[in-house]
């Protein structure tokens, strides 16, 4: 299979080089590009299969990484883009957590490569560059794989889709699980939550605290902590109490949020946390302006929609910030290799309806035939279960190697066949079709 060449700018970015250095390299040819320093072979983290070999290092851009190759290697390399994003300074230990969670990759015989990413917070393009770089390190210093798959999990699917378009020659198949695949629109409802919550609770910010546009998430100099925010949420909504111990007012406020935003009550605090601290990070990286707004949104589902829409604070997205954010995080569905996705139908962290956007974009770019989507009867987000991933890897590799395009029915049947004693845990819903994202997140 032939792939279009990567742009020289993206190639240089994958090496952590500026354009001035790249210009010198262009004169002497790609062959003169320096390789990354070799990793150190060290003990593997706990939780990986016996006999696995592991390597660690920090790449030229500063990203920590972990590589692993099982004793009986299939010849397949799975490059993993992790979820998040975590705020603050990246920690090397994040890779240990990831490989332990995704040890199923090694159990299936595939090698694993994962970058921690050089930047904390919301930086998708640089994370995509780090993802390509860790692939190169494995190839140059560990082994040359027969096949290379790109796996994006949750926010890592946003990273993976960027990496797939930036470095199309690097991947032969793409697996997206519980993925953010609908771009910035995925996050619009978290500003809606901030606005509705403030209307109902008036404690974020409190009346005696400085006012600020909620679309900023939080002022840059604010000392508010996640624990303090959780206390405010509980003060207003009683989310830490059994439902029977909540006041009638708290019950009604929770009902308004759940009915309008279509999220379960146990996810309110988590989404509000994102709409506070992660949104501040997004705004900081956008130069201090917000890419999110709700000025045109009409909220529906409350006991009195007219009153709600009249009272909720409104904010307008900054056009330049929106364009910058979109350029950093979004994809256009221009994938030239097979793409297989899996998503929990009741996932309340990343809504399954985003899968419809992925389908539409790939169809619009002429790549609809390269997409197969599967859906699982599950509310899980971070990990769908050990039985789910082996048939996905197997199906994607059969598609890559043999040209045999999988079907949800076939993947479901294979899931049950691989582990008959756990067949009930497969839970693939082969007839499920997600609704448009606009049915879940109010359009704007």
DSSP state string for 220-265? TT----HHHHHHHHHHHH-TTS-GGGS-HHHHHHHHHHHHHHT--G
Over the Cα atoms of the chain, what is R_g?
23
Spell out the residues 6+ positions from residue 440 whose beta carbon is closer than 8 angstroms to its own: 189, 262, 351, 353
The answer to whether 159 and 181 are in contact (CB under 8 A) is no
- Give me 216's structure tokens: 């900023």
Give 117's contacts (C-beta < 8 A, 6+ positions apart): 63, 82, 85, 90, 123, 126, 127, 130, 159
Q: Which two tokens stand for residue 323?
A: 């364009």
CA distance 220 to 281: 9
**Rounded to 5 degrees, what are φ and ψ at 20?**
-65, -45
C-alpha–C-alpha distance, residues 159 and 211, integer Å? 34
Render each residue's pLDDT in the chain as its tens digit; 444 residues. Answer: 333 333 334 444 444 444 333 333 333 334 444 689 999 999 999 999 999 999 999 999 999 999 999 999 999 999 999 999 999 999 999 999 999 999 999 999 999 999 999 999 999 999 999 999 999 999 999 999 999 999 999 999 999 999 999 999 999 999 999 999 999 999 999 999 999 999 999 999 999 999 999 999 999 999 999 999 999 999 999 999 999 999 999 999 999 999 999 999 999 999 999 999 999 999 999 999 999 999 999 999 999 999 999 999 999 999 999 999 999 999 999 999 999 999 999 999 999 999 999 999 999 999 999 999 999 999 999 999 999 999 999 999 999 999 999 999 999 999 999 999 999 999 999 999 999 999 999 999
Choose among 381, 382, 395, 390: nearest CA to 426.
390
Residue 86: HSE in the Cβ half-sphere, 13 Å Cα cutoff: 16
Whole-angstrom distance, CA of residue 419 vs CA of residue 325: 43
- φ, ψ (nearest 5 deg) of residue 182: -115, 15
User: What secondary structure does DSSP assign to 287-353, as a single string?
Assistant: TS--S---TT----SSS-HHHHHHHS------HHHHHHHHHHH---S---S-EEEEEETT-SSS-TT
> Closest Cα partner for 102 from 36, 153, 176, 27?
153
- Candidates 414, 342, 435, 417; CA nearest to 384 is 342
pLDDT of residue 295: 97
| pTM tops 0.85, yes or no | yes
How far is residue 262's CA from residue 330's CA, in Å, rounded to a whole number? 24
For 90-110, b/e burial (b = at least 16 CB within 10 A) is beeebbbebbebbbbbbebbb
pLDDT at 176: 98
Q: What is the pLDDT of residue 439?
A: 97
Residues of the chain with CATH 3.40.50.1820: 38-184+329-439
The count of other CB atoms within 10 Å of the CB of residue 295 is 10
Residue 35: predicted pLDDT: 85
CATH entry 3.40.50.1820 includes domain 38-184+329-439: yes
User: What pLDDT, on a 0 to 100 scale, did the predictor assign at position 34?
Assistant: 60
Rounded CA separation 270/265 (Å): 10
Say which DSSP state 423 is in: G
User: d(Cα 178, Cα 333) in Å, to the nearest integer?
Assistant: 17
């Amino acid at each position: 299979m032939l792939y279009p060449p990567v742009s020289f700018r993206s190639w240089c970015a994958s090496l952590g080089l500026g354009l001035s250095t790249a210009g010198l390299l262009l004169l002497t040819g790609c062959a003169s590009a320096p390789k990354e320093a070799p990793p150190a072979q060290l003990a593997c983290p706990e939780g990986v299969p016996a006999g696995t070999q592991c390597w660690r290092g920090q790449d030229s851009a500063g990203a920590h990484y972990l590589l692993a190759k099982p004793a009986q290697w299939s010849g397949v390399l799975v490059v993993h883009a992790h979820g998040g994003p975590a705020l603050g300074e990246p920690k090397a230990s994040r890779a240990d957590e990831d490989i332990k969670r995704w040890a199923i990759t090694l159990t299936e015989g595939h090698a694993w490569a994962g970058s921690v990413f050089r930047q904390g917070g919301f930086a998708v393009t640089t994370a995509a560059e780090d993802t390509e770089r860790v692939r190169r390190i494995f190839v140059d210093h560990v082994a040359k794989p027969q096949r290379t798959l790109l796996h994006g999990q949750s926010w890592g699917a946003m990273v993976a889709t960027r990496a797939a378009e930036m470095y199309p020659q690097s991947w032969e198949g793409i697996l997206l699980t519980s993925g953010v695949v609908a771009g910035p629109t995925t996050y619009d409802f978290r500003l809606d939550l901030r606005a509705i919550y403030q209307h109902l609770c008036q404690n974020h910010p409190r009346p005696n605290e400085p006012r600020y546009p909620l679309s900023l998430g939080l002022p840059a100099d604010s000392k508010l902590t996640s624990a303090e925010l959780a206390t405010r949420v509980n003060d207003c909504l009683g989310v830490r109490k059994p439902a029977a111990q909540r006041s009638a007012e708290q019950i009604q406020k929770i009902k308004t949020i759940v009915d309008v935003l279509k999220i379960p009550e146990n996810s309110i605090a988590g989404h509000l946390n994102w709409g506070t601290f992660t949104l501040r990070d997004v705004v900081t990286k956008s130069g201090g302006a917000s890419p999110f707004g709700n000025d045109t949104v009409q909220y529906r589902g409350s006991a009195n929609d007219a009153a709600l829409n009249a009272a909720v604070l409104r904010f307008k997205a900054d056009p330049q910030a929106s364009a910058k954010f979109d350029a950093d995080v979004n994809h256009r569905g221009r994938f030239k290799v097979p793409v297989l996705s899996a998503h929990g139908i009741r996932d309340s962290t990343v809504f399954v309806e985003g899968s419809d956007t992925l389908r539409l974009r790939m169809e619009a770019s002429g790549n609809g035939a390269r997409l197969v989507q599967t859906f699982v009867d599950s509310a899980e987000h971070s990990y769908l279960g050990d039985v789910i991933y082996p048939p996905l890897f197997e199906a994607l590799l059969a598609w890559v190697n043999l040209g045999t395009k999988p079907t949800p029915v076939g993947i479901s049947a294979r899931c049950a066949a691989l582990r008959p004693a756990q067949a009930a845990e497969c839970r693939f819903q082969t007839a499920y079709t997600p609704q448009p994202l606009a049915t879940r997140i109010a359009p704007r």
